[in-house]
């Protein structure tokens, strides 16, 4: 998103408020604001996010238009587990109720970033990313904060794992009609039902495990 587009969207929002019948007077009750001419309104409207064209295809990202991938990305945006201390997510700095920025002079994650957090509205339409334009696609941009020491300070090896059996999350054994969740060591037969969504035994065990770990952490913290 260009700066202009964001400013445009804000101005568009103000116009909507004006159109809703609120008097165009500032809070001090001083001079009324000069009205916009139709040409000015059109110019401001042309800068609104809603006026952007459909996104062009991204030849460097075959998942770009996959709604499931977009849903996963939206989930990960809020997932603190991808940070070294389990407390920082993208949304820690890119606050959804602050136009995806944080009002701070420098972003604060595990450390202090050396630049200001950028607002993200309309980011998909941008050609270059970061203040200095050092990234040319959203996917390559998103790889940086996860490992940047001042942001999430994660480590891709820790996130992906080694592929050892003990590291696997869940194994689907088709010949033996069996599913094992390695995190909680639960095994169940009846693959078709499980694949159709019968995951209750697994989620119950995962929930119990999560609760146990939280209690453990809390008691460590207290001691
Ligand atoms: C510690 C705070 C922090 C965290 C956590 C963080 N960011 Fe950022 N983000 C920043 C800062 C600071 C910049 C500007 C950095 C620069 O220009 O060098 C930025 C820039 C960006 C940009 C570029 C926007 C543009 O207009 O060019 C995108 C996109 C972005 N972040 C997405 C993400 C995503 C996705 C995550 C999570 C994987 C994330 N950020 C995590 C602070 C953060």
**Ligand 1 near 8 CB (within 6 A):** no
Give the pLDDT of residue 147: 75
Q: What is the pTM of this model?
A: 0.62
Look at residue 189 and tell me whether its pLDDT is greater than 60: yes
DSSP E strand boundaries for the chain: 170-173, 178-181, 186-189
Q: Which residue has the higher pLDDT, 5 or 59?
A: 59
Question: Which class in CATH covers the domain with range 164-222?
Answer: alpha beta
Q: Which residue puts its alpha carbon closest to atom 32 of ligand 1?
A: 142
C-alpha 36 – ligand 1 centre gap (Å)? 35
Q: At 163, is the pLDDT very low, low, confident or very high (cuts 50, 70, 90)?
A: low
Look at residue 171 and tell me whether its pLDDT is greater than 90: no
**Ligand 1 near 148 CB (within 6 A):** no
Look at residue 17 and tell me whether its pLDDT is greater than 70: no
**Ligand 1 near 78 CB (within 6 A):** no
- Percentage of residues in the chain having pLDDT higher than 70: 78
Torsion of CA 192, 195, 201, 206, to 10 degrees: 150
What is the dotted CATH code of the domain comprising 68-159? 1.10.760.10
Largest CA distance in the chain: 79
**Ligand 1 near 15 CB (within 6 A):** no
**Ligand 1 near 109 CB (within 6 A):** yes
Q: pLDDT digits over 80-103, tens only?
A: 888 888 888 999 999 999 989 999
Closest CA to 107 of 120, 97, 93: 93
Q: pLDDT digits over 131-147, tens only?
A: 999 888 888 888 888 77
Give the pLDDT of residue 6: 41
Supply the angle between the helices 38-45 and 3-19 in degrees, to the nearest 10.
130
Domain boundaries, the chain: 3-51, 68-159, 164-222
Please report, for residues 22, 50, 125, 157, the alpha-carbon distance to residue 54 in angstroms, rounded to integers and kept in the order given.
33, 10, 9, 36
Look at residue 21 and tell me whether its pLDDT is greater than 60: no
**Ligand 1 near 102 CB (within 6 A):** no
């Amino acid at each position: 998103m260009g700066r202009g587009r964001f400013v445009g969207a804000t101005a568009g929002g103000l116009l909507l408020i004006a159109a809703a019948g609120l008097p165009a007077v500032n809070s001090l009750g001083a001079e009324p604001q000069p009205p916009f001419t139709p040409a000015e309104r059109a110019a401001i409207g042309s800068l609104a996010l809603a006026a952007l064209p459909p996104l062009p295809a991204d030849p460097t990202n075959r998942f770009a238009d996959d709604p499931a991938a977009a849903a996963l990305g939206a989930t990960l945006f809020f997932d603190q587990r991808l940070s070294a201390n389990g407390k920082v997510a993208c949304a820690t700095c890119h606050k959804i109720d602050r136009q995806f920025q944080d009002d701070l002079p420098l972003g604060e994650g595990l450390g202090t970033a050396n630049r200001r957090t950028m607002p993200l509205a309309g980011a998909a339409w941008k050609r270059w990313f970061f203040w200095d334009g050092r990234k040319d696609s959203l996917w390559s941009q998103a790889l940086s904060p996860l490992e940047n020491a001042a942001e999430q300070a994660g480590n891709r090896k820790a996130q992906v794992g080694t592929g050892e059996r003990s590291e696997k999350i869940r194994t689907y054994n088709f010949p033996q009609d069996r599913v094992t969740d390695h995190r909680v060591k639960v095994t169940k037969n009846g693959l078709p039902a499980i694949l159709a969504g019968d995951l209750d035994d697994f989620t119950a065990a995962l929930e119990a495990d999560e609760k146990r770990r939280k209690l453990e952490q809390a008691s460590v913290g207290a001691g």
